[in-house]
């Protein structure tokens, strides 16, 4: 029961945050985190392209990525799983590369820049390797890597869950932002590690004694 509740909660948060980029498209250039950005940044066309590419494709990846873990969907339409997976991989690569670029302009200095750059690199690597593994027929390795990939993707959710709490604890927005640049994804990867480790120790049917 608890597993189902957590699954539904993850799906709900993923859908909500997957639609989050729409506020930037409808709310103008000063929506959300952009309110603290310097005016000169909005005159940089490369940053503009990178930012919107990052949030649009990142939102798409978050919106459809959780569906890939549904055994019910995979068992009924493997073709849908594969096609959606290709869209997810493409969206991630575009979002991660553009995210790495715009991380250079992140508010908060070097700790924030390195935090978001690291996230982009890990997200890109785990997704690309997960795709390569399934192309080579290595199903279990593919599943594990995609768990790590979506853990990175879910950082968009955990960032917005942690930020208010960290701000309340520190009393300073930039201090909280420096922490959340790492804390939005590092615990996610720890959870992914526990999940993949659990998968590794589950006995196969022929060794389960049944």
State pLDDT tens for residues 163-178: 999 999 999 999 999 9
Q: Which of 28, 6, 103 is nearest to 58 (CA)?
A: 103
pLDDT of residue 130: 97
| Helix (H) / strand (E) containing 178 | helix 173-183
**Number of folded domains that form the chain:** 1
132 found inside a domain:
yes
Residues 91 and 169 sit within 8 Å (Cβ to Cβ): no
33 found inside a domain:
no
108 found inside a domain:
yes
pLDDT of residue 27: 56
Report the C-alpha gap between 202 and 210 in whole angstroms.
14
pLDDT of residue 26: 62
pLDDT of residue 11: 77
pLDDT of residue 21: 66
What's the predicted TM-score (pTM) here? Answer: 0.85
**Alpha carbon 196 to chain centroid distance?**
17
109 found inside a domain:
yes
pLDDT of residue 25: 62
85 found inside a domain:
yes
59 found inside a domain:
yes
Residues of the chain with pLDDT under 70: 1-4, 7, 20-35, 199-210
209 found inside a domain:
no
Which residue range forms the structural domain that includes residue 176? 9-19+44-200
126 found inside a domain:
yes
pLDDT of residue 135: 95
């Amino acid at each position: 029961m608890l597993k189902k509740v957590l699954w539904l909660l993850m799906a709900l948060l993923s859908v909500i945050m997957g639609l989050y980029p729409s506020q930037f498209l409808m709310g103008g250039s000063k929506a959300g985190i952009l309110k603290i950005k310097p005016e000169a940044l909005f005159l940089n066309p490369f940053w503009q392209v990178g930012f919107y590419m990052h949030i649009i494709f990142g939102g798409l990846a978050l919106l459809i990525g959780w569906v890939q873990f549904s055994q019910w969907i995979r068992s009924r339409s493997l073709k849908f799983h594969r096609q959606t997976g290709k869209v997810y991989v493409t969206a991630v690569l575009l979002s991660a590369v553009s995210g790495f670029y715009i991380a250079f302009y992140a508010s908060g200095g070097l700790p924030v820049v390195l935090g978001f750059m690291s996230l982009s690199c890990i997200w890109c690597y785990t997704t690309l390797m997960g795709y390569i593994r399934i192309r080579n027929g290595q199903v279990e390795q593919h599943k594990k890597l995609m768990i790590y990939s979506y853990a990175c993707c879910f950082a968009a959710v955990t960032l917005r869950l942690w930020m208010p709490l960290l701000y309340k604890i520190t009393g300073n927005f930039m201090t909280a932002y420096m922490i959340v640049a790492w804390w939005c994804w590092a615990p996610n990867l720890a959870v992914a590690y526990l999940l993949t480790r659990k998968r590794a120790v589950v006995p196969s049917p022929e060794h389960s004694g049944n």
